[in-house]
Amino acid sequence: MTPEQQRAVEEFRKLRGVDPFGPFVPLLKSPELMTRVSALGEYLRFRSALPPRLSELAILITAAHWKQQFEWDIHAPIALNAGIPQAVIDAIGKGEPAPGLDPEAQALHDLCIAVHQNRIAGSDAHERAQTALGEQKVMDAIAICGYYALLAMVLNAEGIGART
């Protein structure tokens, strides 16, 4: 490893308490990028305005959209433990409508689906999400979708965990 890569690994260990894994291994090819991506992920995963059940819902929607099995396999059990019912997880994995979501989760679900499928939230989905969740949670949800899309692209491009 280069000195820059070694520093990036040490920063990752300090921030996350583990060695780089998954998408962070190929991201290490660009050490500063890996460090910055990791820092953003630490906020979005562990400190965003969204409660874990909503954050994990957004992550699963993103993993399913990008057909990213590695991320799915990590986050499906976390989502279940955070309170997302198995039936919802299964539906998202199959690209089907998620059954029985509460109003907050439904608004978030519709926002994330719209952002991924249409590349724009659309005024209806955005307004419903703003009403149900508030500005900061909506912005954090959009950022989670973008962040996990980045990780999915890195993993898919490197041939790690992509579903066909």
28 phi and psi angles, rounded to 5 deg: -65, -15
When the pLDDT of each residue in the chain is averaged and rounded to a whole number, the result is 94
Q: pLDDT at position 141, please?
A: 97
Residue 18 in this model has a pLDDT that exceeds 90:
yes
DSSP designation for 162: B
Place of tokens 């060695």: 19
Fold adopted by 52-157 = AhpD-like (1.20.1290)
- The Cα 142–Cα 149 span in angstroms is 11
When mean pLDDT is compared across 23-32, 35-44, 112-121, 151-160, the lowest value belongs to 112-121
Helices then strands (H, E): number in the chain?
Answer: 9, 0
Q: pLDDT tens across 109-142, in order?
A: 999 999 998 777 667 888 999 999 999 999 999 9
For residue 118, the model assigns a pLDDT of 79
What are the boundaries of each domain within the chain? 3-46, 52-157
Give the pLDDT band (50/70/90) at residue 164.
low
Backbone angles phi, psi at 48, to 5 degrees: -65, 170
DSSP bridge pairs for 162: 68
Cβ atoms of 127 and 72 within 8 Å: the answer is no
pLDDT, one tens digit per residue, over 36-78 is: 999 999 999 999 999 999 999 999 999 999 999 999 999 999 9
Encoded tokens for 139:
């912005």
What global pTM score does this model have? 0.94
User: What is the distance between the alpha carbons of residues 98 and 92, in angstroms, rounded to a whole number?
Assistant: 6
**Which residue has 């089907």 as its token pair?**
96
Tokens of 96: 């089907």
Tokens of 71: 């991320």
Please indicate whether residue 163 or residue 127 has the higher confidence score (pLDDT).
127
Task: Give the pLDDT confidence of 74-110 residue by residue, as tens digits.
Answer: 999 999 999 999 999 999 999 999 999 999 999 999 9
CB 84 within 8 A of CB 60: yes
Distance CA 128, CA 115 (A): 14
The residue with tokens 């099995």 is: 69
